[in-house]
Structure 1
């Protein structure tokens, strides 16, 4: 049996006075809900087509592998979209019509309707939500010509009215799936459900060790976090860096998994699994694609490498090199001491001291630096115990030696090209291997500060300040 899915997304939103499909619920545009759900059901369908008038909707549909057709005559009514869809599909046993403003319909419901059609191939299948008829209906192929003859602002309901004896109702025992968004009151009811924050997208530039403390806090509190990385991350504390997903496809840190993603769909797939997607995107292209509520620069480059204040409703940067109020909205103090984690709304963080943090009285001696330009080759791995003078590895023929006894807490990935003087590892004199595999106190403090900054911005937005 072949069934084609048709998504009608060319409405004029007259009662909303704006394109409702681009409005967000829980941080996601309304139209993406139904398209993402249909993507989960792709095995049910012979073909999937989206008919719309907004380029963003059509682009997203194409990114999911759907057919996308523009309707430039949508002002003439819904029938125009029905006709465009049917004329651009191969013949099928049935045609399942979805509306794009019904965000909560579930895969299980679509499967139930599909199975009902499989048992009643000559009947019109209609979902009944606690006694109320709704969408998506399935029309058998024998009604195709009648659907093609529709005109004006009428849809499948006109065909259904003429064939009431040809209907099979499928009971769906939920009211939520029947909800569609037609008016501003409808929209407000949904955003005031009490979980408005949940699902908002936040982009974090970098998946390094400090960034991973930020990512953990945001993810745990319900935000959808997307991590942007470079092609070959040079993280030192790799066992606690979500950036490592770039190399291995995934990494788990303190029970949270990050997955490498290569498309918008793979990003949403990761979120649906309660995982954190990591994309190789040094230019920040996905920022424009996802319209996040916040962008966090956690590169810790000690300078602004391209962050702009208008990148999102709230922009946050960690450490020196940024001016709060000019480069970003909020700067987070990253220097250890009394002000660590302080939110700065105007001005700069403390300048870079150029001195590593003090661990049990050791600063420079605990850090490993590259002795030359070249590819690093390692003799040890993270978690190994070493003694003073042990050769940790080489860059070309020059050795990298331990200057103290301790455990290797961080070590750059073997084979990475490094520059002379570049930090490539650190040794922890406390000799506790657990520190190698858990997020640091500094990263947690900064992560909490970033979360505070985000919540402040959300509260201000919701209060109209």
Structure 2
């Protein structure tokens, strides 16, 4: 499977109070923790879409990740996503879309999406959590044109739920945890501490 990854990390993070993508978790930034799971599935390319605080975030990225600054990032997630789609290699193949704050997503979660996509290559394969479908989600090439036309705050979830394409949802409880606030970050640190204690 020809696979390209797009990770959206362009937002202002106003609820967090500072660039959350750069928040320290252990010895890495939040964005790099998220990137690690996607790099582990060995995509052809991995693009991180930046906007607010672009220079600082770009400086943090590993060499395997390409930073793509979206000049219209303030218009919303849909605009950032379509900008990235329009900057993919041609033909693009399958595209896996994720967020730069879904810290709990693992390589196994993403491999599950890929395995389902290999069995159903014409379907959208979407994470299912909190009773809804969302990202991470894997889109076949036939969806690329519509993804390239998204704008404003209308993101990938709109296409997933539009009934225009067949969709398979994969249960992914980890997708429900993202970091939007300082409280979320504190909860994540507590969760990691509890897991470490159990392992010991």
TM-score by length of 1: 0.39
Partner of 2:188: 190
Separation (CA, whole Å) in 1 of partners of 2:175 and 2:147: 26
The equivalences for 1:308-319 within 5 A come to none
Cross-structure match for 1:99: 99
- Structure of greater Rg: 1
Pick closer, same or farther for the CA change 1:177–1:144 going to 2, 3 Å.
closer
- Greater fraction of residues in helix: 2
**Post-superposition offset of 1:67:** 2.0
User: Secondary structure, in 3 states, of the residue corresponding to 2:64?
Assistant: coil
Question: What does 1:54-453 correspond to in 2, within 5 Å?
Answer: 54-61=54-61, 63-90=62-89, 91-129=91-129, 131-163=131-163, 166-172=166-172, 175-193=173-191, 195=193
Q: Which has the higher contact order (CA 8 A, sep 6+)?
A: 2
**Secondary structure, counterpart of 2:159 in structure 1:** helix
Q: Which runs of 5+ in 1 are unaligned?
A: 199-465
- How many correspondences in the alignment? 192
Partner Cα distance (2:26, 2:176) in 1: 18
Counterpart position of 1:348: none
CA distance, structure 1, for counterparts of residue 81 and residue 175 of structure 2: 23
Q: Which runs of 5+ in 2 are unaligned?
A: none
Q: Does the Cα contact within 8 Å between 2:127 and 2:175 map onto a contact in 1?
A: no
Partners of 1:176 and 1:118 lie apart in 2 by 22
Quick one: distance in 1 between partners of 2:165 and 2:64?
A: 37
State the Cα deviation string for residues 272-306 of structure 1 (Å, max 9, x = none): xxxxxxxxxxxxxxxxxxxxxxxxxxxxxxxxxxx
Measure the CA separation in 1 of the matches of 2:166 and 2:140. Answer: 10
Separation (CA, whole Å) in 1 of partners of 2:70 and 2:165:
33
C-alpha separation between the residues in 2 aligned to 1:115 and 1:99? 20
Query: Structure 1: how far apart are the matches of 2:57 and 2:117?
Result: 28
What is the CA distance between 1:177 and its match in structure 2? 4.8
Structure 1 residues 25 and 60, CA gap change in structure 2 (3 angstroms): closer
Say which SS state the counterpart of residue 58 (structure 2) adopts. helix
Normalised TM-score (structure 2):
0.85
For structure 1, which segment, 116-125 or 46-55, has the greater mean C-alpha deviation from structure 2 after superposition? Answer: 46-55
Structure 2 CA distance for aligned equivalents of residues 117 and 60 of structure 1: 31
